[in-house]
Amino acid sequence: MTEIQPIDRTRVVRAPNRAVFNRQTVYAILDDGLLCYLSFVADGSPHIIPTLHWREGDSLYIHGLTASRAIHSSSDGSEVCVMVSHLDGLVLARSAFHHSVNYRSVAIYGSPAIVADDRKEAALRAMVERITPGRWAELRPVNDQELKAPTVLELPINEASAKVRTSAPIDDPEDMDWPVWAGNVPFEMVRGVPVPDSAMDPAIKLPEYLRTR
């Protein structure tokens, strides 16, 4: 299915014209980010934490420590909401009221499941390869004790919606001649120059996958 069927809690109420339910758009927004926000309820109180995410097919995967409150509360059949968002620019209008931002965001609802132990190492490899393709093969192999510490949650992308704004300022007609600069100020997230660990052997060269990203 190329479209995600909207339901009451995934419908966009404010500015519904910015809602997107196309899977290609939703997946692109998810794939462009490394950090998501996982919201959950624990002991009757709402909480939200940032954590790493990655997508494979129609599922979103979330990394966390087995002993953490977030993982424990999110893996007992309770429902969660996951948000991924990107700030793409400032939108400067001719009046303060019409200032805005250009952005892309996705909200996903559902009950995540714990990835089984026989799939956990492959899931963690996918996380590392998502961040730095080609790195897993260079690393010291993980051991059994290390594999016990993290938990990976799998959340099907069935109840989700995107919201996107990409337009110029939207001013009132009577303000169009007001003598102030108006327009968009783009934002962009880029990777910086890698900084080597001071304790690393200086003979070790920067890997190619870090040179080309």
Spatial distance between the Cα atoms of 92 and 169, rounded to a whole number of angstroms: 6
**pLDDT value at residue 43:** 84
Burial class (CB in 10 A: 0-12, 13-18, 19+), 129: middle
The beta strand positions in 43-133, using DSSP E, are 45-56, 59-65, 80-92, 100-110, 113-114
**pLDDT value at residue 124:** 94
Question: Which neighbouring-strand residues pair with 164?
Answer: 104
Residue 66 has pLDDT above 70, yes or no: no
Spatial distance between the Cα atoms of 70 and 9, rounded to a whole number of angstroms: 22
**pLDDT value at residue 137:** 94
Between CA 38 and CA 44, with CA 112 as vertex, the angle to 5 degrees is 60
Domains of the chain: 8-90+99-169 (2.30.110.10)
**pLDDT value at residue 21:** 95
DSSP state letter for 164: E
Residue type, 112: P
Q: What is the mean pLDDT of residues 154-169?
A: 96
- Under a CB-based contact definition with an 8 Å cutoff, are residues 89 and 183 in contact? no
14-60 pLDDT tens trace: 888 999 999 999 999 999 999 999 999 988 899 999 999 999 999 99
Q: What is the pTM of this model?
A: 0.90
Spatial distance between the Cα atoms of 154 and 138, rounded to a whole number of angstroms: 26
**pLDDT value at residue 212:** 67
DSSP state letter for 198: T
194-212 pLDDT tens trace: 999 999 999 999 999 898 6
Residue 71 has pLDDT above 90, yes or no: no
